Amino acid sequence: MLTSEETQISENPNILLKKATLEDMDFIKELFFTEMDAIVNRAWRGRFRWESWFKDINEALTLESHSVLLIQVTRQNIGFLWMNTETNSLWITAIVLNPEWQRRKIGSQIMAHLINECKQDGRKTIELGVQQNNEAAMRFYTEIGFRKFDQIRSAGTDLLQLKLNDHRDLSYL
């Protein structure tokens, strides 16, 4: 799944997923911390350990079962995607876009691409966790067809699953 160094995710050749390297970690850390710190700390009641998360994503860069990808528009980094592919389900650990690039259908195009990739790979589901206080993300995922299947109370996180035979048609993109 997404084995090439760069993958065009839509008919627009300017939108790419590109494999991240250690040199990209400053961008990833800054974007994630800037965009998610308030949401994550409120959900975790101030107990979230950023050092542990940063260590995990650094390690993920070296694992075959994980993909850490930059989201680029016209070769400019605008976000990142972190996925785990070690089970029959695709687990999205994080997807973060710079706010100025949100609500431009880029997230929808990425999800449509991932759905198609998963179907080609024979996967049946995509799963992820969303902080319960991240209303925009919850709305986005439920509109696509994700449904809650569990929660992590201590982290204020709902676990969502998309059954690939039961998603909203994203061909309108």
Q: Give tens-digit pLDDT for 52-78.
A: 778 888 888 888 888 889 999 988 999
Residues 6+ away with beta carbon under 8 Å from 81? 17, 67, 68, 69, 71, 92, 94, 95, 110
**By the 8 A CB rule, do 87 and 161 touch?**
no
Domain span at residue 142?
6-163
Q: Is residue 168 domain-resident?
A: no
What was the pLDDT predicted at 17?
Answer: 92
Establish if 64 belongs to a structural domain. Answer: yes
State the Cα–Cα distance between residues 131 and 121, nearest whole angstrom. 28
Residue 141 lies in a domain: yes
As to burial, measured by CB atoms within 10 angstroms (0-12 exposed, 13-18 middle, 19+ buried), residue 77 is middle
Q: Which residue has the higher pLDDT, 50 or 108?
A: 108
Within 8 A by CB and 6+ apart from 94, the residues are 32, 57, 80, 81, 82
Task: Tell the residue number behind the tokens 């929808």, with chain if given.
Answer: 108
Tell me, yes or no, whether 61 lies in a domain. Answer: yes
**Count of domains observed in the chain:** 1
CATH number at residue 72: 3.40.630.30
Residues 1, 8: Cα–Cα separation, whole Å: 13
With respect to residue 45, please indicate whether it lies within any of the assigned structural domains. Answer: yes
- Answer for the pair 32, 96: CB distance below 8 angstroms, yes or no: yes
| 99-157 tens-digit pLDDT | 898 888 888 889 988 988 888 888 888 998 888 888 888 888 998 889 888 887 767 77
pLDDT at 3 exceeding the cut of 70:
no
Say what the pLDDT of residue 173 is. Answer: 39
Rounded Cα distance between 87 and 16, Å, is: 25
pLDDT at res. 10: 72
